[in-house]
């Protein structure tokens, strides 16, 4: 994390510009995760210090919201939508296919740090159900074949 000094500076800059108080904690965490990609202990301590609140408060908020993560994610984050519209159109089978193919469970990262498999509850593209997102790019009407296609697309990179 030491060589992340620049990133911490960027975060510090943000905290200063919005004159963040403890009420802006969630906005600050969003920005921190955007800059650093995850929120390990050091980051939480840093934020607690800047906002002058206990670390326990920061930790409490980070663990409450599913959007925040304390673990480093893979290079490619595969999000399978498990919202209702996707579920009734077989999203659980898509999830299973990714799990089988990558040898990891929902929420885990492959040992080589390439893929993280996780789930979302509705990205609002229900018309394309079932939906898979990879680093924000959306793949609609997913089938078992799409799973193969997606993995091929990113495995090569």
Partner 1 sequence: MCLSKVKTMEELFCLSENLKGLLDIKKGKANIAGTMEISVCGGTGCHASQSAKLKDELVRFAKQYGVEEKVKISITGCFGFCEKGPIVKISPDHTFYTKVHPEDAERIIKEHIVEGKIVEDLLYVNPLNHERILSQDQIPFYKKQHRVALRNCGLINPENIQEYIANRGFLALAKVLKDYRPDQVIDEVKKSGLRGRGGGGFNTGLKWEFASKYQSEKKYVICNADEGDPGAFMDRSILEGDPFSVIEAMIIAGYAIGADEGNVYIRAEYPLAIERLTIAIKQARQMGFLGENILGTNFCFDIFIKYGAGAFVCGEETALISSIEGNRGEPVVKPPFPAEAGLYQKPTIVNNVETLANIPVIILDGAEEFAKIGTEKSKGTKVFALAGKINNVGLVEVPMGITLREIIYDIGGGIKDDHEFKAAQTGGPSGGCITKDHLDIPIDFDNLSSIGSMMGSGGLIIMDDRNCMVDIAKFYLEFTVEESCGKCTPCRIGNKRLLEILTKITEGKATMDDLNRLEELSNIIKDTSLCGLGQSAPNPVLSTLHYFYDEYLAHIQKKYCPAHVCKALAKYQIDEKICIGCGKCAKNCPVNVIEKTDKPAKNPKLFVYKIQQENCIKCGTCAKNCPMKAIVLL
The residue among 27 and 88 lying less far from ligand FES, judged by its C-beta, is 88
Q: Give CA separation, 111 vs 37, 69, 74, 116, in Å.
A: 18, 18, 9, 10
86 contributes a contact to partner 1 by CB under 8 A: yes
How many CB atoms are closer than 10 A to CB 18? 12
Chosen residue from 8, 11, 15, 29 binding partner 1 by CB under 8 A: 29
Residue 143 interacts with which of partner 1, ligand FES, none, CB < 5 to 8 Å by class:
none
The verdict on 35 binding partner 1 (CB under 8 A) reads no
In the bound state with partner 1, the residue whose beta carbon lies nearer, of 24 and 99, is 24
The verdict on 37 binding partner 1 (CB under 8 A) reads: no
Binding at 22: pick from ligand FES, partner 1, none (beta carbon under 5-8 Å per type) = partner 1
* Residues contacting residue 70 through CB under 8 Å, at least 6 positions apart: 38, 39, 40, 41, 62, 63
Of 82, 80, 55, nearest to 70 by C-alpha is 55
Question: Which residues are CB-contacts of 79 (< 8 A; sequence separation ≥ 6)?
Answer: 118, 119, 120, 123, 132, 133, 134
Are the beta carbons of 82 and 142 closer than 8 angstroms? no
Chain position carrying tokens 């929120």: 39
CB of 85 to ligand FES, least distance (A): 4
Q: Which is nearer to ligand FES, 125 or 134 (CB)?
A: 125
Say whether residue 70 binds partner 1 (CB under 8 A): no
Is residue 123 part of the contact set for partner 1 (CB under 8 A)?
A: yes
| Residues at the contact surface with partner 1, assessed by CB under 8 A | 21-27, 29-30, 60-61, 64-68, 82-89, 120-129, 131, 136, 138, 140
């Amino acid at each position: 994390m030491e060589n992340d000094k620049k990133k911490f500076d960027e975060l510090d800059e943000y905290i200063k510009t919005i004159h963040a108080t403890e009420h802006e904690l969630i906005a600050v965490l969003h920005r921190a995760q955007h800059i650093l990609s995850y929120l390990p202990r050091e980051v939480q301590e840093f934020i607690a210090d800047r906002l002058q609140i206990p670390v326990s408060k920061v930790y409490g908020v980070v663990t409450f919201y599913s959007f925040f993560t304390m673990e480093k994610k893979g290079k490619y984050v595969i999000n399978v939508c498990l919202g209702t519209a996707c579920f009734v159109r077989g999203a659980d089978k898509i999830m299973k296919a990714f799990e089988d193919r990558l040898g990891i469970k929902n929420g885990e990262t492959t040992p080589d740090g390439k893929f993280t498999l996780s789930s979302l509850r509705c990205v609002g593209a229900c018309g394309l159900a079932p939906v898979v997102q990879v680093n924000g790019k959306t793949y609609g009407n997913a089938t078992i074949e799409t799973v193969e296609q997606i993995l091929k697309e990113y495995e090569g990179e």
